[in-house]
Homo-oligomer: A and B are copies of this chain.
Amino acid sequence: MTDKKLLSEHEVDLYNKWWHAANYLSIGQIYLMDNPLLREPLKLEHTKPRLLGHWGTTPGLNFIYLHLNRIIRERDNDILFIAGPGHGAPGVVASTYLEGTYTELFPEITQDEVGMQKLFKQFSFPGGIPSHTGAPTPGSIHEGGELGYSLSHAYGAIFDNPDLTVACVIGDGEAETGPLATSWHSNKFVNPKTDGAVLPILHLNGYKIANPTILARISHQELINLIKGYGYDPIFVEDNDPDSMHQKMASAMNTAFNRIHRIQQNARKNNDTGRPLWPAIIFKSPKGWTCPKTIDGEKVEDYWRAHQIPFGDLSNPKHLKLLEQWMKSYHPDALFDEKGAIFPEIAELAPKGDKRMSANPNGNGGLLRRPLKLPDYRQYAVKMTKHGHVIAESTRIMGEFLRDVIRNNPEKFLLLSPDENNSNRLNKVFEVTDRVWNAEIYDFDDHLAHKGQVMEILSEHTVEGWLEGYLLTGRHGLFSCYEAFIHIVDSMVNQFAKWLDEASKVEWRRPISSLNILLTSHVWRQDHNGFSHQDPGFIDHVVSKKPKMSRIYLPPDANTLLLVTSHCLKSSDRINVIVAGKQPEPQWLTMDEAIKHCYKGLGIWEWASNDKGTEPDVIVACAGDVPTLEALAATKILNEYVPDLKIRFINVVDLMTLMTDDQHPHGLSNQEFDALFTINKPVIFAYHGFPRLIHSLIYKRSNARNFHVHGFREEGTTTTPFDMVVLNNLDRYHLVSNIMNRVDRYKSKIAYIDQFVRDKLVEHELYIRQYGEDMPEIKNWRWK
C-alpha cells in the first residue's frame, strides 16, 4: 500500500491545498470576525470575544470529507456525510463552502472576502449558526449535539435506499455511549440488494474534553477484535504525515468502496442477499492535527488541549501572533485568489451538482418525500349498533390498517419496535411482510427475512435512530413501544424536536414525515408486568416541546384510533404520540361518530350525558381508553343511584385542545372551552397520565379551580387491571365518590354513597386476593 503510490504528487499537492483551505476556513470560523484573509496584520479586534467550536476533530473531518469527494468524482456515487463528533461544524461548513453549496443556499455568504468574513463571523455568534452540523448545515441529517446517534441515523438513511452510501464518522468519544455501542449491530439488518451501505469511519483521535477515549487506549488487537466482533472488516489508516496519510486514505477508501461495490453487485446480480462482511475504516489522526504542537510550553497537538480551542487568551500578544502564524502556515494566498475565492483548480476537487454531499437530496429528505398511499381507514371500522357492546382490541384493528399501509408502500414505510410488535398486537402486518433479519435464519423462524417492512431490535435507541434517519431521508414510519420504556429515548426525541424546530427556520429545508410513536402496552395495561413497566410520563415530556410540533392523541377505541393513525401518517414535521389500548375493550363510537369526535379533538358524548340542553350539575371528563371506561362506569352507577344528577360526559382525544388557542394551535378558545366545561361546575377528569399535566394545561381557564383530576399517582405493582386503577383512585368507585362530594345538593346522600364505594372496594380487594383476577362484574361490565 505504501510502496505503490496511488496518488500522483500533483494530486497530493492539490489535496493538501483543499485540506489547508478547509482547515483555514475552520480556524477562521472559530477565531475571526474580520480580516478573513489576513491581508492586514491580525489585531485583537479582528477576533471574536468568545471562542467557540471544537478544533480537535476538525482537521480529521476535513481530511475524510475530501477523500470521500475523490471517491464521488471517480465513481459517481451517491454519498451522504454524517459527522458524529461534537462541535464539528467548522469543518463541515468549510467543506460545503468550498463546494459552493453553502453560497447557493445562503446567497449572502459569497465566494469572496466579504462572504468569507460573514462566514467566519456567523459561526457560534449571536444570530449566526451553532457549532454542530445542525439543520442549517447543507447535506446534514445529523446535528450530533448530543452524542450517540450518528450510526443509527446512518443506517436509517440507507434502508430501502439502495443507491445511497452514508459515510458515518464516529468520534471515539461518541463511541463510548451506549446507543452508539449497540448501533454497530445495525449491519445485521441490511439487505445488500435493496438497501444502501454504511461506511463507518471511526475517528480515533484519542481524547474527549478532559480524558483520553477508551477505544484509543486499548490494544490494537482488542480494537480489531471489537470491530470484527461487531461484524465489520476494519481497515486501519494511521499516520501523522499528511502526504503519507493521503496515500493511505485514498487506498483505504478504494478498498472500502470496492468492497461495498462487490457486495452490492453480488447481491443484486446473483440475488445473494445474505449478510456480507462490510468494511469499516479506523482513521487515527492526531487530535487538532496541524495546530501548534506546543503552546506556552504545554503539549497541544495530539492531546486533549486541542479538543476545543487550542489557545484562547488573544489579549496576550504572543497568542495573537501565534494565531496569525498558524493560519498563515496554510498559505491562504496560495488557496484563495485576490477577491478571496478559492482557486479553480482546488475548487474542482468538489463533485458536481447534486453529487456534492452537501447538495445530495437525501440530506434534505423533504425534497424526496412522497405522500403515503393510504387505504381508507373507514373500511377497517368496527361495526356496532349500540355504544359499548362490541368488544375489540384496538391495536389489532389498527394492525389491519397498517398491513395495507405496508402493502401499498413497499419501499417507503417501516414499522419499528423493540421486539414488541406482536406483543402490541399488530400481527396482521405479517400477512404481507416479514421482519428484517440478516443474521442467521433457521427454517423454523417466524417471519424473519432479508427483506421486510417490520424492523425489531431490543434497543429503543436504535429503533428511534433508524426511524429518524429514515424520515430525514424522505420516508415514513411508525415506532410502537411499551409506554414506560419510551422514556429510554426521551433525550433522543428531545433532540429530534430541536432539529425539527431548527429545520423549520431553514428556508431550503422541506418538511419531512412526522415522528409517529404508538404507545400501547400502556401504564394501565401493564398490570401483569409490574411497577417497572408502568409510567405515563412520556406524554409530559413531549408536551414540553414546541406547540407547533407536539401532538398527543388518546383515542378511546378502535375507530378513533384508526382515524388518528391515518391523520398522523399524513402529517409532517410533528411528533405524534398515540396512546391506545391493546386489550379487548368495549368499543364506543361508530366510524361516523368517531370522525365527528376526532375532528373536534374533544366533545360531549350525548349518549352518555343526561344534561340534555340544560346546565349540568357536574362534568365527567376523560382522556384515554381505560379512564374512559371507568368514567362511563361511574356515570352508569350515578345514573342508577341518583338519576336526577345531571351529568355532562366529555371525552378528550386530542390532549392539546385543553390548552388555550394562544398556547397551542389545537387549543380551544376560552369561549369554546367554557361552553363545554362551564365556568363554575365541578369537572371530574379521569386522565390516562399524571394529573399534574392536566392542571398545567388548563390553568388559564375560568373553571380551572374546579378541575379534579384522577390519574396515575405512581402507584403500581403486579396486580389485576382493575386493581391498577383502584390503586390510583382512577376507578369508577373513587370517581363516583368524588363526583358526589362535589355536588352540594347531594350532601345528604354522600354518606350512603361513600359506604357503597367502600363496600365495593373491599369486595374487590378480597376477591382479587383470593382469585387473582377481577370480579366478573368488572370483567363483564357493559354500558347499558
User: Would you give the 0/1 interface string for A691-705, flagging 1 where the beta carbon is closer than 8 Å to chain B?
Assistant: 011011101000011
Q: Is A229 an interface residue (CB 8 A)?
A: yes
Residues of B within 8 A of A444 (CB): 299, 303
From B132, B495, B772, contact of A48 by CB (8 A): B772
CB–CB B501/A714 < 8 A: yes
Interface residues of A in 225-250 (CB under 8 A from B): 225-231
| Stretch from A15-23, A434-442, A508-516 forming part of the interface with B | A434-442
CB–CB A178/B176 < 8 A: no
Who on chain B is nearest to A690 by CB?
Answer: B544
CB–CB A214/B226 < 8 A: no
CB–CB A714/B544 < 8 A: yes
Q: Is A125 an interface residue (CB 8 A)?
A: yes
Beyond the given pairs A145-B531, A537-B544, 12 more chain A to chain B contacts, judged by CB atoms under 8 angstroms and listed by A's residue number, are A50-B528, A50-B773, A52-B718, A126-B772, A131-B718, A134-B531, A177-B459, A178-B459, A188-B218, A226-B228, A488-B491, A544-B692
> How many copies of this chain are found per oligomer?
2
Residues of B within 8 A of A457 (CB): 176, 214
CB–CB A532/B132 < 8 A: yes
Residues of B within 8 A of A226 (CB): 225-226, 228-230
CB–CB A495/B532 < 8 A: yes
Residues of B within 8 A of A173 (CB): 419, 458
CB–CB B132/A530 < 8 A: yes
From B528, B543, B697, contact of A124 by CB (8 A): B528
CB–CB B229/A223 < 8 A: yes
Q: Provide the bound-state CA to CA distance between A173 and B217, in Å.
A: 29
Subset of 18 A-B contacts with CB under 8 Å: A50-B528, A124-B718, A126-B720, A130-B532, A209-B419, A209-B420, A209-B422, A210-B456, A211-B456, A212-B439, A212-B442, A212-B445, A224-B229, A226-B228, A226-B230, A490-B491, A494-B537, A540-B541
CB–CB B531/A502 < 8 A: yes
Residues of B within 8 A of A695 (CB): 695-696, 699
| Stretch from A179-187, A317-325, A607-615, A670-678 forming part of the interface with B | A179-187
Given A173-B419, A529-B145, A531-B498, decide whether A304 and B446 contact each other with a Cβ distance below 8 A: yes
Q: Provide the bound-state CA to CA distance between A490 and B218, in Å.
A: 30
**Which DSSP category, helix, strand, loop or mixed, fits chain A's interface?**
loop
Q: Is A559 an interface residue (CB 8 A)?
A: no
Q: Provide the bound-state CA to CA distance between A690 and B213, in Å.
A: 35
From B422, B714, B717, B723, contact of A545 by CB (8 A): B714
Q: Is A448 an interface residue (CB 8 A)?
A: yes
Given A134-B530, A439-B218, A714-B501, decide whether A699 and B704 contact each other with a Cβ distance below 8 A: yes
Q: How far is the CB of A517 from chain B (nearest CB, A)?
A: 15
Who on chain B is nearest to A188 by CB?
Answer: B214
Interface residues of A in 299-353 (CB under 8 A from B): 299, 303-304
The CB with the most chain B CB atoms within 10 A, among A299, A304, A491, A528, is that of: A491
Q: Provide the bound-state CA to CA distance between A15 and B434, in Å.
A: 43
Q: Provide the bound-state CA to CA distance between A719 and B122, in Å.
A: 11
Q: Provide the bound-state CA to CA distance between A174 and B418, in Å.
A: 11
From B33, B213, B537, B773, contact of A458 by CB (8 A): B213
Q: Provide the bound-state CA to CA distance between A303 and B448, in Å.
A: 14
Q: Is A485 an interface residue (CB 8 A)?
A: yes
Q: Is A750 an interface residue (CB 8 A)?
A: no
From B231, B485, B540, B546, contact of A714 by CB (8 A): B546
Residues of B within 8 A of A704 (CB): 699, 704-705
Q: Is A127 an interface residue (CB 8 A)?
A: yes
Given A178-B183, A214-B188, A719-B126, decide whether A772 and B490 contact each other with a Cβ distance below 8 A: no
CB–CB B127/A212 < 8 A: no
From B182, B225, B690, B705, contact of A178 by CB (8 A): B182
User: Would you give the 0/1 interface string for A427-466, flagging 1 where the beta carbon is closer than 8 Å to chain B?
Assistant: 0000000010101111011101000000011111110000
Q: Provide the bound-state CA to CA distance between A423 and B210, in Å.
A: 8
Given A228-B229, A772-B33, A772-B126, decide whether A439 and B718 contact each other with a Cβ distance below 8 A: no
Q: How far is the CB of A241 from chain B (nearest CB, A)?
A: 21
CB–CB A131/B769 < 8 A: no
List the 8 shortest-distance A-B pairs measured between CB atoms, nearest first.
Answer: A145-B532, A226-B229, A178-B178, A217-B439, A130-B530, A225-B229, A487-B491, A181-B182
Residues of B within 8 A of A495 (CB): 532
Residues of B within 8 A of A67 (CB): none
Q: Is A683 an interface residue (CB 8 A)?
A: no
The CB with the most chain B CB atoms within 10 A, among A143, A484, A545, is that of: A484
Q: Provide the bound-state CA to CA distance between A501 and B530, in Å.
A: 13
Q: Provide the bound-state CA to CA distance between A52 and B494, in Å.
A: 35
